[in-house]
Amino acid sequence: MNDDQLLRYSRHILVDEIGIEAQQRFLDAHAIIIGAGGLGAPAAMYLAAAGGGKLTLVDADTVDLTNLQRQIVHMTSSVGKAKVESARSTLNALNPDVSIEAANVRADTKWLDENVPQASVVLDCSDNFATRHAINAACVAHGVPLVSGAALRFDGQISTFDLRQADSPCYACVFPPDQEFEEVACSTMGVFAPTVGIIGAMQAAEALRVIGGFGETLAGRLIMLDSLRMEWNTMRIARQPDCPVCGART
């Protein structure tokens, strides 16, 4: 780290559990953030501020006026622009040290298989089960930790799936791909803006703990938030031997 970086990240370096060593790991890391919306916006901003060396933002959508109620990485002037380009502009202004790659594509199986192996951690900030399962499958196949978040109305949830740990479940252990879920979206159900901010910030914190190797991640735990009552619940989750995605791994 140069002198400017030592000053910029000094409040991290002063924390005993982080110090220069973990901060350097942040600077050397590559995080893929899939979804530049309500969850991806705060997650990307905190990772950029913290000095996450390279961030790859993946989203094929454009900024809509209705996004601005919660997607804090975008500005009014960004309406109509690609979300990843809008986010890259904001993040570059926040911290020019960080390398921002903008992938204006959908995270399909081919893209994931080509790019996930290069990542230190993947943050699933998407909004549909098909994409979530594709991301999980790629992370399991390539042994890359996954931080998964979701939010709707006043409800949020977050967990970390880290198959580097022998007993860690994957996303499919908790939400089987063959199980039917009712697909609902913010466009029809709405979402309380701070809820996505809370969950997105937690995703950034999880990613930094994974990268830095300090503290205890949420592997094996699913945390659920009711922001209408500001109540938290934790559910222990276990790896399923018959999971169609990770069950065959040793």
Q: pLDDT per residue over 140-194, tens digit each?
A: 999 999 999 999 999 999 999 998 988 899 999 999 988 766 666 666 788 999 9
Let me know if residue 42 belongs to a domain: yes
Q: Which of 114, 39, 115 is nearest to 83 (CA)?
A: 39
SS3 content of the chain, % helix, strand, coil (to 5): 40, 20, 40
Domain that holds residue 92: 10-236
**Structure tokens of 120?**
């230190």
CATH number at residue 207: 3.40.50.720
Q: How far apart are CA 40 and CA 203, in angstroms?
A: 9
Let me know if residue 1 belongs to a domain: no
pTM of the entire predicted model: 0.95
| pLDDT value, residue 118 | 96
Q: Which of 125, 170, 173, 186 is the catalytic position?
A: 186
Tell me if residue 186 is catalytic: yes
| pLDDT value, residue 178 | 84
Q: Which of 93, 94, 68, 92 is nearest to 80 (CA)?
A: 68
Q: Domain tally for the chain?
A: 1
User: Which of helix, strand or coil describes residue 137?
Assistant: helix
Which ranges of the chain have pLDDT less than 70?
A: 180-187, 249-250
**Structure tokens of 11?**
């409040």
